[in-house]
């Protein structure tokens, strides 16, 4: 995983709550066995009509948001299915930071494991960001080390992130390699368990 | 603390007990390293995990604690005609991966094949006190046995394959207490839908939920699985029920369950897991079981749900601007009018299946409703048993005949129209009464409209062509 430290980019606002992973990437695109190439299917049913033509009324199709890398959405973002294809699609499309008032647990973890920074901010602040971004051409910066997002017009908000996940993002850890350093403990656990329970 | 027990150790919840028994390693400022007893695997969320192992030259640590099946993508008719080459490749990839890494697999021809959350319990792989994961959010189903079971992403699937562990922050605990008893013909599905309708789609986020109370104790194992299955629809990664005699009776004699004296010992251990009297939870919510009526969802998430006697809400009913907008968007997507009685809504499709409601008792209850009747001429109805084992058992009782005589299609086991990854798709704009767990936009097909209901409600909708209260229907046919 690529380390994540600091990112500045164009903000795309998607002001809906409870955006589920079925919307982020519909099931017909979960059949591929690779990790790459899912960006073209991001929000597919919102972006394209039944003939595959871009829908004019969906804002991600607006050229003003081309190249956006920060997504601001409503509460409970990423709920539903555990499919990691959702962060893969967001990342492949170009999103590096996702800001929302709240996230679904599995999705939040899946983001971190893929080097996407999930930023949880109070609703007043996400609403403010949505407003700014809706007028277009709005850039924001996220600084993971100091746990703040800010723009150049004076907006600044700090966010919480569990230390372990922060370190993982900052260092781009291979988590399995870290865990394997504890292999002796896993061995010992299994031996003890076999003695005491009947699994 | 109650009088007289002050000398005892602090009472613990089942969540505390299972957690503490599985911590491999603890360190400050880090989540716990938790041992995983069982990983279930399916074709959709595993290929990239196996590929990750291959790229790093890693192996599967405990193939004997790993079990795979094919369910999401499998055809439910003409088993071997897989039209989509990409689907075919995904299934072949699972086959190949299981061979290469020695993982046991119930493939499409295997008599044990079925939906991963149906076959785990059926085979007795699911047991109280186990930590169970799967790259699938409905892994919470296995919590019905008093296991700590939760869905994970593909990176975590790879992590568990390689290490049989996961780094997990200790979750908060919530007691969802269901007081009193359910009324006759009100089901476990209605109960969990009513709970989600009452408390919302994210009340469980960050929690492991334990369902307690008289109504829960009275549920059969299959009904408990229906309840725990939908925990994730409330945001909870895991939902569980303390094991009791109902649990042990279900497990006795299943293939992977210990026998004889070992079974008795296991029961002792399992019994010790139940939450202690007076154990503290981080949060508690309560609901009265006798308030619950048969439910129908009207919108695009499972909390958008009303009793069958109810009316679809209007945007004005929303508590905030965002709420109002959400209701408006859902009404538009669902093609419904504000304030319309739900019983006036006609359906084009009926799907009885999915890991929520495709077990033998579900099919029996639905069959009872359709017995001697015909599916409404404007409805296409199908039954997809949760596993080959369920299918065989149902056929032995003649349920297949009851359904096909009524005009239902009787299919092979799989996820099917729950997520419409195979050819079982609801066409754009059409409406489906479904016993599955998600009514998200496009879930059963692009622009398809899903209404979640219990199996008997789905069966009644198939006959009537619209939603009816199955209770009046059972006593006095319309
Ligand atoms: S039946 Fe539906 S919810 Fe259950 S595992 Fe299959 S796709 Fe997921």
Q: Inform me whether the pLDDT recorded for B7 exceeds 90.
A: no
Give pLDDT, residue B247: 98
A104-111 average pLDDT score: 96
Q: Pick the closest to residue B129 from B255, B279, B258, B285 (CA basis).
A: B258
E strands, chain A, where? 6-14, 70-73, 97-100, 117-120, 139-143, 148-150, 156-158
Of B473, B266, B444, nearest to B354 (Cα)? B444
Chain A environment of B446 (Cβ under 8 Å): 26, 45, 50
User: Which residues are CB-contacts of A183 (< 8 A; sequence separation ≥ 6)?
Assistant: B163
pLDDT reading at B75 higher than 80: yes
Chain B nearest-CA distance from A177, in A, is 9
**Percent of chain B at pLDDT above 70?**
97
Q: How far is residue A76 CA from its own chain's centroid?
A: 12
Mean pLDDT (whole number) for A156-178? 95
For residue A77, give the chain B residue with the closest CA.
B202
Q: Assess A171–B contact: CB distance below 8 Å, yes or no.
A: no
- Between the alpha carbon of residue B127 and those of residues A98, B22, B106, B358, the distances in Å are 38, 15, 19, 20
- Region B19-35 average pLDDT: 96
Residues of chain B with Cβ-Cβ distance to A76 below 8 Å are 201-202, 205, 235
Arithmetic mean of pLDDT, B278-306: 98
Pairing of strands B66-69, B105-106: parallel
Mean pLDDT (whole number) for B250-262: 97
Distance CA A149, CA A8 (A): 9
pLDDT at B82: 79
Q: Strands A148-150, A139-143: parallel, antiparallel or unpaired by DSSP?
A: antiparallel
The predicted pLDDT at position A182 comes to 97
pLDDT in tens, B408-453: 999 999 999 999 998 999 999 999 999 999 999 999 999 999 999 9
Judge if the beta carbon of residue B470 lies within 6 A of ligand 1: no
With 80 as the cut, is the pLDDT of residue A18 above it?
yes
Query: Looking at beta carbons, which residues of chain B come within 8 Å of A170?
Result: none
Cβ neighbours of B158 in A, within 8 Å: 176
CA B386 to ligand 1 center in whole angstroms: 10
pLDDT of residue B3: 47
pLDDT band at residue A195 using 50, 70 and 90 as cut-offs: confident
Residues B27-36, mean pLDDT to the nearest whole number: 95
- DSSP code per residue over B169-207: PPPEEEEEEEES-PPTT--HHHHHHHHHHHH-TTTTTTE
Q: pLDDT of A22-55, one tens digit each?
A: 999 999 999 999 999 999 999 999 999 989 999 9
Cβ–Cβ of A81/B137 closer than 8 Å? yes
- The answer to whether B466 and B443 have CB atoms below 8 angstroms apart is no
Q: Please identify which residue in the block is written with the tokens 């999930």.
A: A118
Query: Å from A52 to nearest chain B CA?
Result: 12
Chain A residue numbers with beta carbons less than 8 Å from the beta carbon of B262 are 198
Interface check for A131 against chain B (CB to CB < 8 A): the answer is: no
Is B124's pLDDT higher than 90?
A: yes
Least Cα separation, residue A117 to chain B (angstroms): 16
Cα A96 from Cα A117, distance rounded (Å) = 6
Q: Is B78 exposed, middle or buried (0-12, 13-18, 19+ CB in 10 A)?
A: exposed
Q: Mean per-residue pLDDT for B313-325?
A: 93
Decide if pLDDT at A193 tops 60: yes
pLDDT at A197: 60
- The overall average pLDDT reported for chain B is 95
Q: Quick check: B236 and B143 in contact, CB under 8 A?
A: no
> Are the Cβ atoms of A23 and B440 closer than 8 angstroms?
yes
pLDDT, tens only, B353-376: 999 999 999 999 999 999 999 999
Q: Cβ contacts (< 8 Å) between A194 and chain B: which residues? A: none
- Cβ atoms of residues A160 and A147 within 8 Å: yes
Per-residue pLDDT tens for B154-195?
999 999 999 999 999 999 999 999 999 999 999 999 999 999
The alpha-carbon gap from A170 to the nearest alpha carbon of chain B, in Å, equals: 15
Nearest CA in chain B to A113: B155
Segment among A167-171, B319-323, B434-438, B452-456 with least mean pLDDT: B319-323
What is the rounded distance in angstroms from the CA atom of residue B269 to the CA atom of residue A15? 50
Give mean pLDDT, residues B50-57. Answer: 96
Nearest to B164 among A110, A113, A186 (CB): A186
Q: What is the pLDDT of residues A141-153, one digit of tens each?
A: 999 999 999 999 9
Say whether A33 and B51 touch across the interface (CB within 8 A).
yes
Question: Is any ligand 1 atom within 6 A of the Cβ of residue B140?
Answer: no
Q: State pTM to two decimals.
A: 0.95
Taking the CA of residue B206 and the nearest CA in chain A, the distance in Å comes to 7
User: Which stretches within A42-174 are classed as H helix?
Assistant: 44-47, 85-93, 105-113, 123-134, 163-171
Distance in Å, CA A138 to ligand 1 centroid: 40
- What residues of chain A, 91 to 130, have a C-beta less than 8 Å from chain B? 102, 104-106, 109-110, 113-114
Rounded to whole angstroms, the Cα distance separating B344 from B466 reads 7
Asked if B116 and B87 count as a contact pair (C-beta separation under 8 A), the reply is: no
**Is there a contact between B58 and A176 if contact means CB atoms under 8 Å apart?**
yes
ipTM above 0.90 for this complex: yes
Least confident of A80-94, B95-109, B264-278, B461-475: B461-475
Residue of A27, A43, A75 to mutate for B, most B C-beta atoms under 10 A = A27
Those residues whose C-beta lies under 8 Å from the C-beta of residue B172, and which sit 6 or more positions away, are B206, B207, B208, B282, B283
Determine what percent of chain A is predicted with pLDDT higher than 90: 92
The residue among B460, B422, B465 whose CA lies nearest residue B444 is B422
pLDDT digits (tens, 9 = 90+) for A120-129: 999 999 999 9
For the cut 70, the answer to whether the pLDDT of residue A198 exceeds it is no
Cα–Cα distance, B327 to B350 (Å, whole number):
24
**Sign of the Cα pseudo-torsion (B368, B212, B229, B307, in order):** positive
């Amino acid at each position: 995983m690529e380390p994540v430290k600091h990112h500045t980019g164009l903000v795309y606002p998607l002001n809906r709550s409870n955006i589920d992973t079925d919307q982020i990437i519909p099931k017909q695109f979960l059949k591929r066995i690779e990790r790459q190439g899912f960006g073209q299917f991001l929000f597919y049913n919102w972006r394209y009509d039944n003939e595959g033509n871009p829908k004019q009324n969906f804002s991600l199709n607006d050229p003003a948001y081309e190249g956006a890398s920060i997504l601001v959405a409503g509460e409970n973002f990423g709920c539903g299915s555990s499919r990691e294809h959702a962060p893969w699609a967001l990342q492949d499309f170009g999103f590096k930071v996702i800001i929302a008032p709240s996230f679904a647990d599995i999705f939040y973890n899946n983001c971190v494991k893929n080097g996407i920074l999930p930023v949880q901010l109070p609703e007043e602040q996400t609403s403010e960001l949505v407003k700014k971004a809706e007028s277009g051409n709005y850039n924001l910066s996220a600084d993971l080390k100091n746990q703040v997002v800010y723009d150049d017009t004076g907006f600044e908000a700090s966010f919480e992130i569990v230390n372990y996940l922060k370190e993982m993002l900052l260092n781009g850890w291979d988590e399995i390699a870290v865990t394997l350093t504890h292999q002796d403990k896993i061995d010992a656990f299994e031996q003890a368990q076999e003695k005491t329970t009947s699994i | 603390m109650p009088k007289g027990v002050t000398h005892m150790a602090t009472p613990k919840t089942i969540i505390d007990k299972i957690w503490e028994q599985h911590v491999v390693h603890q360190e400050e400022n880090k989540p716990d390293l938790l041992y995983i007893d069982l990983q279930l695997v399916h074709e959709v969320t595993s290929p990239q995990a196996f590929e990750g192992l291959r790229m790093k030259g890693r192996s599967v640590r405990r193939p004997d604690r790993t079990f795979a099946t094919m369910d999401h993508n499998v055809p439910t008719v003409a088993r071997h005609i897989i039209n989509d080459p990409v689907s075919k490749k995904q299934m072949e990839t699972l086959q190949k991966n299981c061979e290469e890494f020695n993982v046991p697999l119930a493939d499409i021809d295997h008599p044990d094949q079925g939906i991963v959350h149906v076959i785990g319990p059926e085979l007795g792989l699911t047991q109280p006190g186990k930590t169970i994961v799967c790259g699938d959010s409905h892994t919470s189903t296995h919590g019905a046995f008093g296991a700590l079971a939760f869905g994970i992403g593909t990176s975590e699937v790879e992590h568990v394959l390689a290490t049989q562990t996961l780094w997990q922050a200790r979750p908060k605990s919530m007691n969802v207490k269901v007081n009193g008893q359910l009324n006759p013909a009100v089901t476990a599905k209605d109960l969990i839908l009513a709970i989600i309708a009452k408390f919302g789609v994210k009340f469980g986020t960050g929690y492991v939920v334990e369902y307690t109370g008289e109504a829960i104790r009275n549920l059969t194992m299959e009904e408990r699985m229906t309840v725990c299955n939908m925990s994730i629809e409330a945001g909870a990664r895991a939902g569980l029920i303390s094991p009791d005699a109902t649990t042990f009776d279900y497990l006795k004699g299943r293939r992977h369950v210990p026998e004889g004296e070992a079974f008795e010992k296991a029961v002792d251990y399992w019994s010790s897991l139940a939450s202690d009297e007076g154990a503290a939870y981080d949060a508690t919510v309560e609901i009265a079981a006798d308030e619950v009526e048969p439910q129908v969802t009207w919108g695009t998430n499972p909390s958008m749900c009303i009793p069958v006697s109810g009316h679809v809400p209007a945007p004005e009913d929303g508590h905030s601007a965002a709420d109002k907008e959400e209701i408006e968007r859902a009404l538009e997507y669902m093609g419904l009018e504000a304030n319309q009685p739900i019983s006036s809504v006609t359906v084009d499709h009926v799907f009885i299946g999915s890991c929520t409601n495709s077990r033998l008792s579900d099919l029996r209850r639905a069959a009872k409703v359709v017995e001697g009747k015909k599916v409404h001429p404007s409805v296409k109805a199908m039954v997809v048993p949760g596993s080959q084992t369920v299918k065989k058992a149902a056929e032995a009782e003649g349920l297949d005949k009851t359904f096909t005589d009524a005009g239902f299609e009787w299919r092979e086991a799989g996820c099917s129209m729950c997520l419409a990854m195979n050819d079982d798709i609801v066409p754009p704009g059409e409406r489906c009464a479904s016993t599955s767990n998600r009514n998200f936009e496009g879930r059963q097909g692009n622009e398809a409209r899903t209404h979640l209901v219990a199996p008997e409600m789905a069966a009644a909708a198939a006959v009537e062509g619209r939603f009816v209260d199955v209770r009046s229907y059972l006593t006095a046919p319309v």
